[in-house]
Structure 1
Amino acid sequence: MKKMKKNKFWSFFFSFIPGALEMYMGFMKMGLSLMSIFGMVCFVTSLLNIGALSFIGIVVWFYSFFHALNLLALTQEEIEQVEDEYMFGTNQVVFSKVANYIKSNTIIVAALVIVLGGYVVWKACFIFLGDRYGYFWYIEEAATRFLFGALIVLAGIHMIRKKKKELFGETLTIERKEENKEDAKE
């Protein structure tokens, strides 16, 4: 599909839908990635019933809107030079890194799958119970927020520990290089 400018009215209209203008202009990979990310954020927000996650959806929407406006500002020659790539680093290298991470951390991935499956079963039980046991709704709401809040905290701790190992590894490497330089001078 040829990448090109189209009707101004429809271009402006599609710029309000994440990824739609990119697809309309012929950038299918860009449009698909933006639309998928926005849709996934909306899906997860509604599944988990945590309204605070909608902030991510708002950020994705604004990014998509201004990305679309920037594409509209390009000339036809500039549009033809823009590569149609998946956005946010979703290329083969990232996919292989994710696959390697999953292979090396199968226990973590399996635990997350079990927790997510348990959560879906939990939600199904409350749908089945309905209004007969209204107080269970409070338990379910608190458990959901606690569970995913704890997962976010654990993910943050994991990221800090990983960065700390990287920093201390670099520090030790620099110190060893300096010691080797001093030994070479003597």
Structure 2
Amino acid sequence: MIKRFIRFLLCFVPGAAHLNLGLKKQGVQLMTLFFLPFFLGDMMRLGVVMFIAPIIWAYSFFDGLRKTNGEEEAVDSDTFIFKWFKEQGGLPRDNKLLAYALIILGALLLLERILIPIIAMYFGYRIREFVQMGIVSILLIFGGLKLLKGSKIEESEDELWEDGE
């Protein structure tokens, strides 16, 4: 009874319940996935990467609960992200989603750490809020336009295939 309660408490720390069950690979992977956004967010002073931490926490919590209750067989295999990454063959050169993410992250870092402080020196500190919101708004608008443009291209390709049949 006490052992089950301790395992339940360990579920609150991502990967700890897995390590307690002897699932070293999964435990370390989940801990890495959970604590990496904290490290990156602090190192780059960018809170935008923190959105993934609650997702990893929830996955780890419920997966740990299922495995400690015996609802799921405790097999020490890769977690879903690492498994997907290995199936993709590592880091593909033509991964456009990753490329866009890196470009946006780099642009946000450049904006946040270099451009906004320079602008704030000349125009005052309050301009910082307006510039940040303006650039994020522009990025969202361009992202939406890109999605709309992409869906129109796919629709026209579908129409070509339907006409050819």
Do the structures match in fold with TM over 0.5?
Answer: yes
Whole-Å Cα distance in 2 between the matches of residues 124 and 93 of structure 1?
A: 38
- Matched residues, number: 155
Which of 36, 41, 46 matches 1:48? 46
TM-score for both structures, normalised by structure 2: 0.63
Residue number among 14, 19, 37 corresponding to 1:18 in the alignment = 14
AA in 1 matched with 2:79: Y
How many Å apart are 1:12 and its aligned residue? 1.7
| Mapped pair 1:101 → 2:89 | no
Question: 146, 150, 153: which is aligned to 1:158?
Answer: 146
Output the CA distance in 2 between the equivalents of 1:31 and 1:153: 39
- The one-character-per-residue Cα deviations of 1:53-104 (angstroms, maximum 9, x if unpaired) are 766533432232112111212269x22xx3511323332406344x3226xx
> Is 1:57 the equivalent of 2:53?
yes
Deviation per CA, 1:105-124: give whole Å up to 9, x if none.
97x67854652442353389
Change (3 A) 1:86 1:125: same
Query: Percent identity over the alignment?
Result: 21
Q: 2:86 aligns with which of 71, 87, 91?
A: 91
Unmatched 5+ stretches in structure 2: none
What residue number does 1:27 align with?
23
1:122 counterpart = 2:114 = yes
* 8 Å contact from structure 2 (residues 15, 26) kept in 1: yes
Please give the alpha-carbon distance, in whole angstroms, between the structure 1 residues aligned to 2:145 and 2:95: 17
CA distance in 2, matches of 1:93, 1:27: 24
> 1:153: Cα distance to partner?
4.1
Provide the rounded CA distance (Å) in 1 between the counterparts of 2:114 and 2:22.
43
* Alignment partners' CA distance in 2, 1:9 and 1:120: 45
- Shift in Å, 1:31: 3.2
User: In angstroms, what is the RMSD of aligned CA positions?
Assistant: 4.0
- Higher CA-based Rg: 1
Q: From 50, 60, 68, give the equivalent of 2:64.
A: 68
SS in 1 for 2:77: coil
C-alpha contact 2:85 2:91 (8 A) present in aligned 1 = no
1-side partners of 2:160 and 2:116: how far apart? 52
CA deviations 1:121-169 (Å, max 9, x no partner) are: 338958xx8xxx9x51x33344334334433443344344334433432
C-alpha distance in structure 2 between counterparts of 1:165 and 1:95, whole Å: 29
